[in-house]
Structure 1
Amino acid sequence: MSTPFGLDLGNNNSVLAVAKNRGIDIVVNEVSNRSTPSVVGFGQKNRFLGETGKSKQTSNIKNTVDNLKRIVGLDFDDKDFPTEAKYISSKLVKLDDGKVGAQVKLAGEQQTFSATQLAAMYIDKVKHTVIEETKSTVTDVCVAVPVWYTEEQRYTIADASRIAGLNPVRIVNDVTAAGVSYGIFKTDLPEGEEKPRIVAFVDIGHSTYTCSIMSFKKGELKVLGTAYDKHFGGRDFDRAITEHFADEFKSKYKIDIRENAKAYNRVLLAAEKLKKVLSANTAAPISIESVMNDVDCSSQMTREELEELVKPLLERVTEPVTKALAQAKLSVDDVDFIEIIGGTTRIPTLKQSISDAFGKPLSTTLNQDEAIAKGAAFICAIHSPTLRVRPFKFEDIHPYSVSYFWDKQAEDEDHLEVFPANSGYPSTKMITLYRTGDFAMSAKYTNLTELPEGTKETIAEWKITGVQLPEGQESVPVKLKLRCDPSGLHTIEDAYTLEDIVVKEEIPLPEDAAEDAEPEYKEVTKTVKKDSLEITAHTFALSDKDLNVLIEKENEMTAQDKLVAETEDRKNALEEYIYTLRGKLDEEYADFASDAEKTKLKDMLAKTEEWLYDDGFDSIKAKYIAKYEELAALGNLVKGRYQAKEEEKRQALRSKNEASQMADLSAKLAEQRKAEANTKKDAEGDVDLD
């Protein structure tokens, strides 16, 4: 049975959650952290994913890619590209399809990976983390993504999940997932005819600020309005601090960290820590050894100075709140609670700005870092065929209007607005078109001016084939089932032709009719399904052929990573065996090896050690195993003698202890019997003087 997996795909860190043990659990990674850095690095032999990628980032800056979710589905010529490029230290290039890719060195060769592949590498890493930590099978995943993700980006994340060997049951908006987490864990929500609870969720993470207004009843959630600031997050605060110190260090120490990527990254990491310290303190120092050119740098910053640095950001806090409330057709007075999530909302001045925007205090009943992942895990559990979960219905909102277009035939219309802006999804609409033959359809945004600049107008295209025009008819009715699925993807689920048939329908007899009256019939024309049509979709999703190629490549790299890790383990085991055996040979094992054996073993250990740090420093797994077994053939013989003697001593000691315990028990029983005999004798010798 597959364990439902919820992934909060963060820009800086990702959180993993699973539905098991009748609850939702956060999965810790290999170093017991409850979040995993969203980093992919490349080295001389293998990849560094997650924690290892982050730990090597400063020394491997050009071959490390972070900010993964910002470049997924991004066009190289997009107006947002220059903004995103300044946050990424690796070389970004334009791929053949116009998308953004990263050019890095892996195993000494220059290679280029698409953003889809990079995301897949990371998702594959966290999948294995979940498998190893939970000791269970993981096949399904619900991935939480930003609300501003386009349909293309949602398809890309779904493809990345498939490359990683997972089935993406749903791509959900991150704040909606947090709302689900709120809805399933709150026990005091209104029921029945009671007024719904209106909750505003403010999520400010590493790169994005989102505000969603939601309506809650017990077992039910509806998104009423959502707005965002795509370029407002923790990384902007970090960069503001870093730029401040870049100027200070330039004048104070005569070094320019902007000219050195490693130096800039070290200051950026220090700035992030400084920001966190200032959330709890009014002032904090910063000290970095050997920033560049062997120069040590130190300084300090007060909370007031930080607030002044980020003043332009704070002035933008109100806009998403105002837009979300306007979309929900509500005022701040209608909002019952304001829940804040995301690590950046811990900054005091930002919390105050959010509170001022609503004019009321904030609430922190949700775990700011884990609420999204827990909601995603619950959503994944809803899709599980084997798990029973608490009934919970939730509905998201269409941010933009979507229309379906088709070939114009005869005098009919050629498009229809099917999913208006602010309408809920998932949803299904049925339409009927009159066709003369096979035709094409497409889904497009109704009003492109409402969307972010650069968004593609066409969402998906379909070919509908198999339409048979009956002789003598000018057209044939075609029924189409149009759907916006739970992931917000627009599809055509079904298409079939209709025909009119004449059937006999019994006429109900009057109440005063005789019991033996003959039933009467009338002819009625009914429209029924005739032929199912074939639907060929052309979406942003990868073709099966391209998907399989990328799956195979990912599997090859995963196998190589595993081989490198196992080789390193065998090398470390050999090194440990050499030092352990050498240290014990003249001590614990001294009486258990002959002089000839000691001489031979010491010679073998010396030669193996010399090989290990010379020719064998970068050898293969099989060589390390062979060297280990060569030493162990004699070393384990001596070790075995020692262990046999130690076991003999333990057995002798155990026997001695048991004999001592038996002797003590016998003495105790003898004393007890003697005491009982004396008591009886005294009783028999008593004389009644009366």
Structure 2
Amino acid sequence: MSVVGIDFGAQSTKIGVARNKGIDIITNEVSNRQTPSLVGFNARSRAIGESAKTQETSNLKNTVGGLKRLIGRSFGDPDLQVEQEYSTAPICDVNGQAGVEVNYLGKKEKFTAIQLVAMYLQKIKDITSKELRLPVSDVTLSVPAWFTDVQRRAMIDAGDIAGLNVLRLINDTTATALGYGITKLDLPGPEEKPRRVMFVDIGYSDYTASIVEFRKGELNVKSTAYDRHFGGRNFDKALTEHFADEFKEKFKVDIRTHPKAWARTLAAAEKLKKVLSANPQAPLSIESLMEDVDVRAMVKRDELEDMVRPLLDRITVPVEQALAEAKLKAEDIDHIEMVGGCTRVPAVKEAISKFFGKNLSFTLNQDEAIARGCAFSCATLSPVFRVRDFSVHDIVNYPIDFTWEQSPDIPDEDTSLTVFSRGNVMPSTKILTFYRKQAFDLEARYAKPEQLPGKLNPWIGRFSVKGVKADANNDFMICKLKARLNLHGILNVESGYYVEDMEVEEPVPEEGEKKEGDAMDTDAANGEEQPKKTRKVKKQVRKGDLPIVSGTAGIDQAAKEALTERENAMYMEDKLVAETDEKKNELESSIYELRDKIDGVYSEFASDDEKDKLRAKLTDVEDWLYEEGEDTTKSVYVSKMDEIRFISGPIIQRYREKVEAEREAVRKAEEEAAAKKRADIAAQKKAAEDAKKAEEEKNKPAAAEADAEMKDAPADADAAQGETGEKQ
């Protein structure tokens, strides 16, 4: 079972996986650590990720980017006009939802943003599966903090269509905060002052500032503010507009009238922006931009800052809003962590540092921090991995009201209630109580529509409570509804039940707690148990469930199954096209390889007649390949390959047999040489041992004589001494 975190970005996506006792960012099929968030369409198949990026300039109208900026939007949303400025594919209405119209398989097709995101997530799933060599199912997916209920439901639906089980949708800055906090071993304890960190995340298309308090084993998001139209793409567009004016004046070409020239200039402007982050000035040069005109320009960093001055003037606004909402001052923040590619821009860093009057922190990987946090989140939710306990308390960003029809039996009843206020901890559950004699409905909607991104519909859902009726005395049924804002930030009325006021007996707590070992009363000491005192109290007792019928913005099950089936069919078509291309390339390379080898390494293994037959077949297949066989089916390429193998097979077999025989001879020679070497070593060892033994035998008699002499010496001395004594 795999644990995967996906940082789904507007420009590119990073994938984090839990393995080797840590988090790795995995690479895609071309060994890049980030995959372009693009989906392209052509006459034969879809191109997703890197392949879409490769053909983007030549296939502008059929390549879609900014997927997360489109999902969950209605076509009438004014934000889509902004997105059309950055999208080369035409955005259109698909049953009220935002989508695109493209040429696919030779005809016009419309796809919703949910379908496009599902296509892209399917590609991300494939990349991950190939890297891990495991099936991928459970994932955590990042979303902007400003996503509403409808956008979050759309992301879950897209994940379902792609065959992914989204364990959690986590806000970008919350994922960053989790990745930051879970690895820190020096966080303050429960009774100490928390560590306050401001996370400033400025990516390709938006800017989020969050204040998070850390204590040992937990993080609490205190406030989040954002600017949805501040990011790297705004810098790129400002540069491109500048170059459009300069090229028109200097080189007499108008790139605004030429989409491909505009796209090439935009790509060059993005590279130039990155160079200017590290250098005071940088050149731009594009060959044959349009009308065979080469263009050149030089831009200074100061000039770029002047171009985006209106943008830079807004840079401290989200930070100020986050501080105000958390009721804090700049000096209350302990650290300012910068993440996101756009935080490399010197003017951005300088403005934030100046606002706080302290140095900024860059301890996290600016591009990969969110993906790492998502992978940690997935690991904490997965039963497979053991992760250090770390609680994540996010907050509600938009207040949610419930409204209902007034009961005819309660004329002064309120008909609305703010159930989840802005800043409430999430996930969160609230119990709503109603007194009713018949079934009733209630609606959930955002309390302040003006705070929502664009012009999103504030409506969240309608919930019908069934099975409600008056009791035998025509009294109200007391209905309890459980409203929950879950891990994803999605609202549901999860269950309903009814209760009755009943008298129940409960034990009366005795005065003073009896401690173990204390003297008890006599009867108790004698082993006789005293009856416990009880009292009757009125309590609400659950008596039964109430069915709830929910109507929300999510796709219904039948429609989701149809979209899943369509996605699977397109996926199999893409796979077949890829395999067909692979077989075609294999056939082409085999023709050139055999033509070269028949006069080379295979020459001595084929007769002249076989050589002539093989050359003729190769020529026939080559002519067919570049005429009729340019675009055919996989099975035809396989059959052509079989025709060539029928002639070349015996020749190749003879060659392989000789090669194998030579290898066998070499192997035997090596084995004999090794055996001879082992025998030589053994013989040398034996000779050395024999010589040693001979030397020992030779030295034995001399040693024996020496011993004998030593033994006789004392006796002679005594004898001599005795003689001397006698003479005296």
* Same-fold call, TM cutoff 0.5: yes
Q: Secondary structure at the match of 1:185?
A: coil
Give the conservation status (yes or no) of the 8 Å contact 1:73–1:100. Answer: yes
Matches within 5 A, 1:501-516: 501-504=502-505
How much has 1:669 moved relative to structure 2?
A: 4.8
What is aligned with 2:216?
A: 218
What is aligned with 1:626?
A: 639
Query: What letter matches 1:301 in structure 2?
Result: V
Query: What letter matches 2:137 in structure 1?
Result: T
How much has 1:382 moved relative to structure 2?
A: 2.4
Identity %: 45
Partner Cα separation in structure 1 for residue 333 and residue 607 of structure 2 = 85
Partner Cα separation in structure 2 for residue 158 and residue 517 of structure 1 = 59
Please say if 1:612 is aligned against 2:622: no
Partner Cα separation in structure 1 for residue 240 and residue 660 of structure 2 = 62
How much has 1:661 moved relative to structure 2?
A: 4.0
Matches within 5 A, 1:504-583: 504=505, 523-583=536-596
Q: Secondary structure at the match of 1:29?
A: coil
Partner Cα separation in structure 2 for residue 254 and residue 101 of structure 1 = 36
Partner Cα separation in structure 1 for residue 495 and residue 364 of structure 2 = 41
How much has 1:299 moved relative to structure 2?
A: 1.6
Q: Secondary structure at the match of 1:170?
A: strand
What is aligned with 1:498?
A: 499
Q: Per-residue CA shift, 1:590-641, capped at 9, x if unaligned?
A: 1111222111111111111111111111010000111111211221221111
Deviates more, 1:562-571 or 1:635-644: 635-644
Partner Cα separation in structure 2 for residue 681 and residue 503 of structure 1 = 107
How much has 1:205 moved relative to structure 2?
A: 0.3
What is aligned with 2:484?
A: 483
What is aligned with 2:420?
A: 419
Please say if 1:78 is aligned against 2:58: no
The structure-2 alpha-carbon separation of the partners of 1:420 and 1:614, relative to structure 1 and needing over 3 Å to count, comes to same
How much has 1:684 moved relative to structure 2?
A: 6.3
Query: What letter matches 1:576 in structure 2?
Result: S
Counterpart of 1:389 (choices 387, 390, 395) is 387
What is aligned with 2:233?
A: 235
What is aligned with 2:710?
A: none
How much has 1:671 moved relative to structure 2?
A: 5.1
Deviates more, 1:442-451 or 1:73-82: 442-451
Deviates more, 1:539-548 or 1:77-86: 77-86
Q: Per-residue CA shift, 1:70-124, capped at 9, x if unaligned?
A: 1112222222222111000111112222x22100001111101111111111111
Deviates more, 1:332-341 or 1:393-402: 393-402
Give the conservation status (yes or no) of the 8 Å contact 2:10–2:204. Answer: yes
What is aligned with 1:13?
A: 12
How much has 1:21 moved relative to structure 2?
A: 3.3
The structure-2 alpha-carbon separation of the partners of 1:671 and 1:497, relative to structure 1 and needing over 3 Å to count, comes to closer
Instruction: Note the aligned Cα RMSD (angstroms).
Output: 2.2
How much has 1:531 moved relative to structure 2?
A: 2.0
What is aligned with 1:256?
A: 254
Partner Cα separation in structure 2 for residue 44 and residue 205 of structure 1 = 33
Please say if 1:461 is aligned against 2:462: yes
What is aligned with 2:120?
A: 122
What is aligned with 2:723?
A: none
Partner Cα separation in structure 1 for residue 676 and residue 544 of structure 2 = 95
Partner Cα separation in structure 2 for residue 182 and residue 427 of structure 1 = 24
The structure-2 alpha-carbon separation of the partners of 1:497 and 1:675, relative to structure 1 and needing over 3 Å to count, comes to closer
Q: Per-residue CA shift, 1:380-433, capped at 9, x if unaligned?
A: 222223333221111111222212112210222111111111221111111211
The structure-2 alpha-carbon separation of the partners of 1:517 and 1:257, relative to structure 1 and needing over 3 Å to count, comes to closer
Matches within 5 A, 1:63-462: 63-97=62-96, 99-409=97-407, 410-411=410-411, 412-452=413-453, 454-462=455-463
How much has 1:308 moved relative to structure 2?
A: 1.8
How much has 1:218 moved relative to structure 2?
A: 1.5
Partner Cα separation in structure 2 for residue 166 and residue 516 of structure 1 = 59
How much has 1:523 moved relative to structure 2?
A: 4.8
Query: What letter matches 1:342 in structure 2?
Result: G
Q: Secondary structure at the match of 1:90?
A: coil
Query: What letter matches 2:594 in structure 1?
Result: L
Q: Secondary structure at the match of 1:548?
A: helix
Give the conservation status (yes or no) of the 8 Å contact 1:321–1:357. Answer: no
The structure-2 alpha-carbon separation of the partners of 1:684 and 1:422, relative to structure 1 and needing over 3 Å to count, comes to closer
Partner Cα separation in structure 1 for residue 566 and residue 572 of structure 2 = 10
Give the conservation status (yes or no) of the 8 Å contact 2:148–2:452. Answer: no
Partner Cα separation in structure 2 for residue 516 and residue 15 of structure 1 = 67
Please say if 1:471 is aligned against 2:472: yes
Give the conservation status (yes or no) of the 8 Å contact 1:64–1:89. Answer: yes
Aligned length, in residue pairs:
688
Query: What letter matches 2:310 in structure 1?
Result: P
Give the conservation status (yes or no) of the 8 Å contact 1:317–1:357. Answer: no
What is aligned with 1:47?
A: 46
The structure-2 alpha-carbon separation of the partners of 1:173 and 1:516, relative to structure 1 and needing over 3 Å to count, comes to closer
Structure 1: tracts of 5 or more residues without a match: none
Partner Cα separation in structure 1 for residue 197 and residue 296 of structure 2 = 44
Deviates more, 1:505-514 or 1:634-643: 505-514
Structure 2: tracts of 5 or more residues without a match: 512-519, 707-728
Q: Which has the larger radius of gyration?
A: 2
Partner Cα separation in structure 1 for residue 636 and residue 452 of structure 2 = 60
Query: What letter matches 1:566 in structure 2?
Result: E
